Amino acid sequence: MPQPFIARSSSFCSRQQLQRGGIHVVAVTGGGEAVHQIPSQDGPHSRSSRFTALTRTVALAYTGEMKEGSPQLHRRGLSGVTPVALVACDLDGTLIGRDHHRIHSDDVAAIRRLRKAGVHFAICTGRSIIESNDVLSELQLQGPGVFVTGAVVADMADRQTLHRRTLPAASIARLIDFFSDCGHASLALIDEDASPAPYYVLTSHGPVHPATAEWFVRNRVQARETAQLDGALQRHVVRIGIVVDRPEAPRIEAELRRNFGTEIYFLSIKAPLFDSHVIEVFHPAVSKWTGITTLCQQLNLAPESVAAIGDDVNDIPMLRQAHISFAMASADEHVKAAAKRTTLPQTQGGVAAAITELFDEGSIVSGRHGT
């Protein structure tokens, strides 16, 4: 029997047209909300029976001579839906708790099932790869992942950088001066081939915020202190930023926009445990989605085959762009609005629930992709 595939349509097709093309439609489901049985060919309405498959309507079909994605298929109003080949998953607040950094047991089992089906599971985090060590070691992940909000793509097994996007040196010098004028030391993340791992450099333009000190302790990270970043180091900065108390954040955000405009891309991420904001600055082309597209090139996968799961503002680009995306139930409303779907909170195994949904709806076909 020919192999089933998932087909999608945005136009009307008659049953006869489909059968002449070698396709037999079994059922149509509108985004899981309803099932419409196609009338029998022998029934009184067989000649006029038509169905519409709206944007989210999925039909389970069997192919005869026609192949998925063929020109004949497109001419009949159906287009092959690319199965999910890659799941990109955020860490903090999504795969691990923000306060305990543990992975839900259901998530561990679901990721194992996903990988067994040949789907690549990629960490997609704002952390550096060193700060992600515990998760990578627990899950024994392999292949490329996305780190530093997309500025770095690195191998999750050997921790080696595969691609990086650094800030322009001229922007770094101005940013350090800007943060210094605000009374803050700049924290720069350096990623260079000469070093076995990324590392932090902290300028001496102000006190270290308590949240920064606590983050270093929790993640066993150290920073080199310097009065000024020299030219050699400036060429390898993938992120620079500061941590500020919550009331101070809006003013600094506004000043960054006014002084730097499109020269940079920056995020202001709430750190509720410390009642503060982490303001991070990147090359203007950086985002988690651009990191994912680089990862897709590494794996020779179509971006349309990506499903994304996240919960915070730095996840918004990938939640908007991914063909299928899930926001955690605990996410802010503007983050949920960027995603196509919502899943359970991290404490209830939200990643596992999302992966299970992909299997149940047929978006993941076991053995369809390489491991």
- Do 29 and 53 lie in one domain? The reply is yes
Residues 60-77 have a mean pLDDT of: 31
Pick the last residue of a domain from 266, 282, 298: 282
Name the more confident of 209 and 292. 292
Place 71 in a pLDDT band, splitting at 50, 70 and 90: very low
Place 351 in a pLDDT band, splitting at 50, 70 and 90: very high
Q: What does the pLDDT read at residue 49? A: 31
Place 340 in a pLDDT band, splitting at 50, 70 and 90: very high
- Do 68 and 94 lie in one domain? The reply is no
82 φ, ψ to 5°? -70, 120
Residues contacting residue 124 through CB under 8 Å, at least 6 positions apart = 88, 89, 90, 145, 146, 150, 288, 291, 292, 308, 310, 315, 318
Place 47 in a pLDDT band, splitting at 50, 70 and 90: very low
**Is position 370 within any domain?**
no
> pLDDT exceeding 70 applies to what percent of the chain?
77
Q: Give the pLDDT confidence of 233-287 residue by residue, as tens digits.
A: 888 999 999 999 999 999 999 999 999 999 999 999 988 777 899 999 999 999 9
**Is position 365 within any domain?**
no
Residue 4 scores a pLDDT above 90 = no
Q: Give the pLDDT confidence of 73-103 residue by residue, as tens digits.
A: 222 223 456 799 999 999 999 999 987 789 9
**Is position 298 within any domain?**
yes
Place 121 in a pLDDT band, splitting at 50, 70 and 90: very high
Name the more confident of 322 and 28. 322
Name the more confident of 163 and 33. 163
The side-by-side arrangement of strands in the sheet containing 223-226 is 223-226, 199-203, 187-190, 237-245, 276-282, 265-271
Residues 151-158 have a mean pLDDT of: 97
Strands 223-226 vs 199-203: parallel, antiparallel or unpaired: parallel
Q: What is the pTM of this model?
A: 0.78
CATH number of 100's domain: 3.40.50.1000
Stated as kind and residue range, the H or E segment containing 280 is strand 276-282
Instruction: Domain count for the chain, please give it.
Output: 3
Whole-angstrom CA distances from 15 to 10, 21, 58, 60, 228 are 15, 10, 15, 14, 71
- Do 178 and 278 lie in one domain? The reply is yes
Across the chain, what does the average pLDDT equal? Answer: 80
**Is position 243 within any domain?**
yes
Place 58 in a pLDDT band, splitting at 50, 70 and 90: very low
Q: What does the pLDDT read at residue 103? A: 97
- Do 43 and 174 lie in one domain? The reply is no
CA distance 205 to 208: 9
Supply 46's token pair: 């067989």
Closest CA to 121 of 354, 329, 362: 354
Residue 36 scores a pLDDT above 90 = no
Supply 50's token pair: 């038509």
Q: Give the pLDDT confidence of 200-230 residue by residue, as tens digits.
A: 999 887 788 888 888 888 878 888 888 778 8
Name the more confident of 291 and 76. 291
Residues 42-55 have a mean pLDDT of: 32
Half-sphere exposure of residue 205: CA atoms within 13 angstroms, side-chain side: 22
**Is position 371 within any domain?**
no
Q: What does the pLDDT read at residue 334? A: 96
Question: Domain range holding 95?
Answer: 86-164+287-360
- Do 326 and 223 lie in one domain? The reply is no
CA distance 290 to 83: 20
Place 194 in a pLDDT band, splitting at 50, 70 and 90: confident
Pick the last residue of a domain from 80, 107, 125: 80
CA distance 344 to 352: 9
